[in-house]
Structure 1
């Protein structure tokens, strides 16, 4: 894909996520269903944190596209690749898969019907659906350099533990689970659910690595064939 099209894609994606984040943040302070924004506001939801993550990645990608100094561009490129490969792709895919899996089973466990009156359908899909095609589009737009798997998984593990600690702190502080589903687990069950979730995120990291390699190996192979 040409640099111009890549720039357009990154700027468009960044602008979209900035709009969604602004729209969601504007809900803070409105008369919402009890407990939604109590203690921590939207910052306790993985969905909102993922939106910030996606916005940060595409902002960095757009900046990298526009930067002219080669040395700085290389540094930006390394951070861009790290952010996408280790966090943006696996976490974004995880949010989409887990949300809709639980929603299909019993939406009250993750997105109670009472929320529909405050968050229109487009916002729900912006948070939980459109993330997937945008990420797959990024895989097609440009290749990414992946770090060593052990380092990537260690970073994911640290971030996962940090988020688990945060939602437990919220519960201990106000007695409300960030997601109703968590209230159905025992302490051991909560630990098992966390391990399961981290396993899924790990699989998405490996999937991203495989997709990146496959798409861009095929791309370079076709280019070489045309030259020959």
Structure 2
């Protein structure tokens, strides 16, 4: 491993470890320090896509940190973990994280009451809100400049991503019909047809960012810029 590559590995390890602990501590803070009324409602905080996203981001950066550590110790033994790291990031973490950030702030700009009512400011600090809704897209774009990923075929990624979304949508409807709770305020102002259309747009948004994630990484890491055994 040459000196430049070794330096790159240290940067990757420090970055991934830092973001992992930010997310892990934020998860702890969200569930054990915040006193939110939604925790007392059906399914608690586990019904929100933002929390699912936070868990996926934490998992990804945790695996990325573990990969960096093993790569430093034994490069050969880290290859299988790299496949797992790349799969989680390119299939779930990147499209979900970027879509959640874009969707949240777009709705917030139109009418914050649709997604994040003003009264929440009394319970949720702005720094926590930014980790939840700004952090994903910022950290993932930074990560794209640090790591080169091996992407599975686009159709394969989309198939797995849609499967994940279907699981969440099933959970969304379960909470609605068995808990009599619409997760976000926006659903209260939409008709059944509009809800279906809105959820379809979210699926398209996820797929779009899955495609863009690959293009961004390929632009940053042109073949001539990828050293041998690059992260």
Q: Could you give the per-residue CA deviations for residues 143-180 of structure 1, whole angstroms, max 9, x where no partner exists? A: 00111111111111111111111111111122111101
Q: Displacement, 1:40?
A: 1.4
Instruction: For residue 27 of structure 1, report the CA deviation from its aligned partner.
Output: 4.0
Match for 1:58 among 40, 58, 61?
61
2:18 paired residue number: 12
Q: Name the CA distance, whole Å, in 1 between partners of 2:177 and 2:47.
A: 13
**Residue equivalent to 1:226:** none
Structure 1: give runs of 5+ residues left out of the alignment: 224-228
Task: Show the counterpart of 1:173.
Answer: 178
Q: Residues 36-61 of structure 1: CA distance to partner in whole angstroms, max 9, x if unpaired?
A: 55121111111111111111001000
In 1, are the aligned partners of 2:42 and 2:181 still within 8 Å (CA)?
Answer: no
| Whole-Å separation in 1 of the counterparts to 2:133 and 2:153 | 29
Which residue of 2 is the match for residue 158 of structure 1?
163
Mapping of residues 103-114 of structure 1, within 5 Å: 103-114=108-119
Q: Tell me which of 21, 25, 42 is aligned to 1:39.
A: 42
> 1:62-101 CA distances to partner (integer Å, 9 max, x unpaired)?
1011114455411110010000001111100011100011
Note the C-alpha offset of 1:184: 2.3
What are the Cα deviations for residues 114-159 of structure 1, in whole angstroms up to 9, with x where unaligned? 1111111111111111222111110000100111111111111111
Residues 161 and 96 of structure 1: CA distance in aligned 2, closer, same or farther (over 3 Å): same
**Contact residue 90 and residue 214 of structure 2 kept, 8 A:** yes
TM superposition shift of 1:189:
2.1
Q: Which residue of 128, 136, 142 corresponds with 2:141?
A: 136
Question: Match for 2:78 among 45, 58, 73?
Answer: 73
Taking structure 1 as reference, are residues 72 and 37 closer, same or farther at Cα in structure 2, changes over 3 Å only?
farther
1:106/1:37 CA distance change after superposition, 3 Å: farther
Instruction: Find the aligned partners of 1:72 and 1:150 in 2 and give their Cα distance.
Output: 29
Residue 28 of structure 2 aligns with which residue? 22
**Which whole-Å CA distance do the structure 2 matches of 1:74 and 1:115 have between them?**
44
> Which runs of 5 or more structure 2 residues have no equivalent in the other structure?
1-6
Tell me, in whole angstroms, the C-alpha distance in 1 between the residues paired with 2:23 and 2:131.
9
